[in-house]
Amino acid sequence: MSAPWVLAMDWRDALLLHWRADAAALRRAIPADLELDLYAGEAWISIVAFRIIGARARLAPPFAALPSFAEINVRTYVRDADKAGVWFFTLDAANKAAVWGGRTLNLNYLNASIACTPTATSYGYDAVRTDRRAAAARFTATARIDSPARIAPPNSLEHWLVERYCFFTTRHGHTKRGDVIHDPWLLHDATPTIAHNTLLSTANLTPLDDAPLTHASPGVSTRAWPLRNAVTGVTSRAQ
């Protein structure tokens, strides 16, 4: 990462829900020059909800940061020849400036109204998509914290799911990669109660599990680098 970072922000009060999914269907939904990343031969999709605090450009002073807002993304797991990362299907955000900025990177950011209700024992999110560029969607979930926070063990499924340090997008016909850096996630095991969830169905995703593997996290501080060309020419890999 020879170029300087371009964006700093904190991701806080994160709720992470994960389901197994059909690998063949996901393969058709990602660019041909990326590889679908698998764990023990299985593909996964996730909904990740969190609050963004202090988002600012590299040379901007802290007081110029965007107001805090909530975001909920729907993603799967991919890699180029160099690095494992994530592919986003949708990113709903409760900040119009963030949505505009994300769409300049050709990420499918959408306007939404999102309420976040973290407590000492649970994290809750209630979101309604308000953007007419996509189908209406609703997500309402609360997760009860069931364990002390810990770092996911190396090579475990939860480590594979959360320790992702880049995302991929396409711009001007080319697949691009955006690298990020942060400390490892501190994870709580959590039990979810999901009242509404049409984020997956409106993205044409069908989970194979009824109940998701769920974690909650106090969050991480991040730095993001400029987009670079993805390293194409991948070969099939599985954890």
> Is 145 inside a domain boundary?
yes
Q: What is the dihedral of CA 60, 127, 167, 171, to 10 degrees?
A: -80
Identify the CA nearest to 116 among candidates 135, 102, 95, 89: 95
**152 DSSP assignment:** P
Q: Say which CATH number the domain at 57 has.
A: 2.40.400.10
> Is 236 inside a domain boundary?
no
State how far the Cα of 190 lies from the Cα of 239, in Å rounded to an integer.
Answer: 24
Per-residue pLDDT of the chain (239 residues; tens, 9 = 90+): 667 889 999 999 999 999 999 999 999 999 999 999 999 999 999 999 999 999 998 888 887 889 999 999 999 999 999 999 999 999 999 999 999 999 999 999 999 999 999 999 999 999 999 999 999 999 999 999 999 999 999 999 999 999 999 999 999 889 999 999 999 999 999 999 999 999 999 999 999 999 999 999 999 999 999 999 999 865 444 44
> Is 125 inside a domain boundary?
yes
Q: Cβ(214)–Cβ(192) under 8 Å?
A: yes
3-state secondary structure of 8: strand
> Is 113 inside a domain boundary?
yes
Residue-range definition of the domain harbouring residue 160: 7-229
